[in-house]
């Protein structure tokens, strides 16, 4: 019987089966780690036929991957509605560079949201400038600001929601529509929500990028990135990735696949704990702002609730007044939160939020806030019991 669309398994089911083709797994559950550089051809006729055909799933040479990497790429494509394919990169930053370098050329203008991940900004104003691309920043919360920055040379726009550190939730469908109307390619950093929480291509985005080092790996032990797109842009990404020689190790691909199987339950648990902790923080007299879009009443919640289908454990909060020293006392009193960049692992982390020096067009603290409320922290809530995490944060407040 032919499958009807309603037969398509739910996401939790797809996370279990995605990429596990029998020809890749053999008789075991997981695709084995296929360590390979060289393809040996049976005879001259096979050699003549082999290297000429550049197709997915056809082993040619290690740089184009082997079944372990293909299984991961296919699994990511299966959980990304609207994707025709996925390219793997050695880090999330490499994935962003791969996507931007696939769609930009000398003379083009790139528009970047002002709340983007700092290395993304640096890519615009450092790397791409050297190749003749001009970068302009726009206000993440003001679609008119994007529109105003567009000119004849504009070629691509980079969006991110919620914004790194400051958690503004952009109106992605509106911004993607503006990009499309002006013939710009839209690239979206979906590391925060993953396709489980934000089906980016369905919301109008052309290329969606994720750092797999965060939630997909999930265990703070690997670096990887991915970019997924529909037919047209998948072909563009694939060509550039091959030209740049991008490849990931099969060992890391196997680890990422292992992480992917439990992505759904980890995100659900993180989200629930983060909401509990965010709610508690909001009740504290020492806190001026809780920047957690999943929390009703918090900045960006309405747009988040409209466009997102899930969240994660990453959010920020800002102290009422205080200074860098009081914030440092708070952090140093914590014992369950590790002090460290990155996030998306099973363990909780904390880092300071100080975006003022890097902002180009939007101020920090934002307009309308008391200017002394500017010392923030970003929390990555892991899988510990939230009651213990709250007790830890209480020790931080006691040390303020
Ligand atoms: C960490 C991160 C990246 C970069 O990923 P790496 O794998 O560390 O290179 C990109 N975007 C966001 C939002 C991130 O948090």
Q: Which residue has the higher pLDDT, 48 or 389?
A: 389
Number of independent structural domains in the chain = 2
Dihedral of CA atoms 356, 299, 122, 109 in degrees, nearest 10, equals -120
Same domain (yes/no): 245, 150: yes
- Please, where are the H alpha helices in the chain? 11-17, 22-25, 44-49, 67-78, 92-103, 118-122, 128-130, 143-149, 172-181, 194-197, 231-244, 250-261, 263-282, 301-307, 324-332, 386-399
The mean per-residue pLDDT over the stretch 370-386 comes to 97
| Nearest CA, atom 7, ligand 1 | 92
Domain that holds residue 273: 263-399
Cβ–Cβ < 8 Å for 81, 201: yes
Q: Is residue 73, in this structure, part of any structural domain at all?
A: yes
What phi and psi, each to the nearest 5 degrees, are found at residue 110? Answer: -110, 135
Listed residue (100, 101, 96) closest to 118, CA to CA: 96
3-state secondary structure of 207: strand
Q: Is the pLDDT of residue 337 over 60?
A: yes
CATH code, domain with 374:
3.90.1150.10
Q: Is residue 363, in this structure, part of any structural domain at all?
A: yes
Q: Which atom of ligand 1 is nearest to the CA of 160?
A: 13
Q: Distance, CA 93 to ligand 1 centroid (Å)?
A: 6
Q: Which residue has the higher pLDDT, 2 or 65?
A: 65
Q: Is residue 203, in this structure, part of any structural domain at all?
A: yes
Same domain (yes/no): 280, 224: no
Same domain (yes/no): 248, 100: yes
Q: Is residue 4, in this structure, part of any structural domain at all?
A: no
Out of 118, 127, 214, mutate this one to test ligand 1's pocket (max ligand atoms within 8 Å of CB): namely: 214
Q: Is residue 284, in this structure, part of any structural domain at all?
A: yes
What phi and psi, each to the nearest 5 degrees, are found at residue 307? Answer: -105, -25
Residues ≥6 apart with Cβ < 8 Å to 292: 167, 274, 275, 278, 298, 315, 316, 317
Give dist(CA 11, CA 86) in Å, integer: 17
**pLDDT at residue number 5:** 54
**pLDDT at residue number 184:** 98
Q: Is the pLDDT of residue 25 over 80?
A: yes
Same domain (yes/no): 184, 204: yes
Give dist(CA 137, CA 241) in Å, integer: 26
Tell whether ligand 1 has an atom less than 6 A from the beta carbon of residue 213: yes
| Beta-ladder partners of 186 | 157
Q: How confident is the model at residue 80 (pLDDT cuts 50, 70, 90)?
A: very high
* Catalytic site includes residue 232: no
**pLDDT at residue number 1:** 43
Tell whether ligand 1 has an atom less than 6 A from the beta carbon of residue 228: no
Q: Distance, CA 32 to ligand 1 centroid (Å)?
A: 27
CB atoms inside a 10 Å sphere around CB 296 = 12
Same domain (yes/no): 293, 368: yes
Q: Are strands 376-380 and 314-319 parallel, antiparallel or unpaired?
A: antiparallel
Q: Which of these ranges, 14-23, 131-140, 353-362, has the smallest mean pLDDT?
A: 353-362
Listed residue (340, 351, 334, 350) closest to 393, CA to CA: 334
Q: Which atom of ligand 1 is nearest to the CA of 223?
A: 7
What phi and psi, each to the nearest 5 degrees, are found at residue 361? Answer: -125, -10
Residues ≥6 apart with Cβ < 8 Å to 79: 11, 14, 15, 18, 195, 196, 260
Same domain (yes/no): 73, 135: yes
Cβ–Cβ < 8 Å for 187, 157: yes
Same domain (yes/no): 305, 228: no
The mean per-residue pLDDT over the stretch 153-175 comes to 97
3-state secondary structure of 242: helix
Listed residue (176, 174, 145, 143) closest to 158, CA to CA: 176
CATH code, domain with 238:
3.40.640.10
CB atoms inside a 10 Å sphere around CB 372 = 13
Domain boundary (242, 261, 280) is at 261
| Nearest CA, atom 2, ligand 1 | 211
The mean per-residue pLDDT over the stretch 114-120 comes to 94
Q: Is residue 5, in this structure, part of any structural domain at all?
A: no
Q: Distance, CA 94 to ligand 1 centroid (Å)?
A: 9
Domain boundary (230, 261, 292) is at 261
The pTM of this model reads 0.96
Q: Is residue 3, in this structure, part of any structural domain at all?
A: no
Same domain (yes/no): 30, 146: yes
* Catalytic site includes residue 52: no
Same domain (yes/no): 218, 121: yes
Give dist(CA 26, CA 4) in Å, integer: 29
Q: Is residue 248, in this structure, part of any structural domain at all?
A: yes
The mean per-residue pLDDT over the stretch 373-390 comes to 98
Domain boundary (261, 281, 314) is at 261
Tell whether ligand 1 has an atom less than 6 A from the beta carbon of residue 208: no
Q: Is 82 left (phi over 0), alpha (psi -120 to 50) or beta?
A: left
Catalytic residue among 136, 214, 240, 378: 214
Same domain (yes/no): 16, 125: yes
CA angle 93, 97, 98 (to 5 degrees): 115
Same domain (yes/no): 297, 393: yes
**pLDDT at residue number 6:** 59
* Catalytic site includes residue 373: no
* Catalytic site includes residue 117: yes
Q: How confident is the model at residue 4 (pLDDT cuts 50, 70, 90)?
A: low
Same domain (yes/no): 211, 287: no
């Amino acid at each position: 019987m032919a499958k009807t669309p309603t037969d398509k398994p739910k996401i939790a089911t797809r996370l279990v089966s995605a990429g596990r083709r029998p020809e890749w797994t053999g008789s075991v559950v997981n695709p084995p780690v296929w360590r390979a550089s060289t393809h040996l051809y049976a005879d001259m006729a096979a050699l003549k036929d082999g290297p000429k055909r550049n197709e997915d799933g056809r082993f040619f040479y290690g740089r184009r991957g082997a079944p372990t990497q293909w299984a991961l790429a296919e699994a990511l494509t299966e959980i990304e509605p609207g994707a025709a394919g996925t390219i793997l990169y050695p880090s999330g930053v490499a994935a962003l560079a791969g996507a931007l370098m696939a769609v930009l050329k000398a003379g083009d203008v790139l528009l970047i949201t002002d709340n983007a991940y700092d290395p993304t900004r640096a890519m615009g104003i450092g790397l791409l400038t050297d190749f003749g691309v001009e970068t302009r920043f726009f206000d993440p919360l003001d679609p008119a600001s994007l529109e105003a920055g567009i000119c004849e040379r504009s070629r691509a726009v980079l969006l991110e929601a919620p914004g790194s550190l400051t958690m503004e939730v952009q109106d992605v469908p509106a911004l993607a529509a503006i990009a499309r109307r002006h013939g710009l390619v839209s690239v979206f950093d979906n590391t925060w929500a993953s396709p489980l929480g934000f089906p980016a291509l369905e919301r109008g985005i052309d290329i969606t990028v994720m750092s797999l080092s965060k939630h997909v790996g999930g265990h703070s032990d690997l670096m990887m990135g991915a970019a997924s797109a529909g037919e047209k842009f998948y072909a563009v990404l694939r060509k550039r990735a091959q030209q740049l020689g991008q490849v990931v190790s099969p060992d890391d691909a196997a680890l990422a696949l292992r992480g992917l199987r439990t992505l759904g339950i980890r995100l659900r648990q993180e989200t629930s704990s983060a909401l509990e902790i965010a709610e508690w923080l909001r009740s504290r007299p020492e806190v001026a702002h809780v920047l957690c879009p999943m929390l009703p009443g918090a900045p960006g919640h309405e747009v988040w609730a409209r466009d997102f289908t899930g969240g994660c454990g990453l959010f920020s909060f800002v102290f009422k007044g205080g200074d860098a020293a009081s914030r440092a006392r708070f952090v140093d009193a914590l014992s369950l939160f590790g002090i460290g960049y990155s996030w998306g692992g099973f363990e909780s982390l904390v880092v300071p939020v100080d975006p003022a020096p890097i902002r180009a067009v939007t101020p920090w603290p934002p307009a309308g806030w008391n200017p002394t409320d500017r010392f923030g922290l970003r929390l990555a809530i892991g899988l510990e019991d939230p009651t213990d995490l709250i007790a830890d944060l209480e020790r931080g407040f006691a040390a303020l």
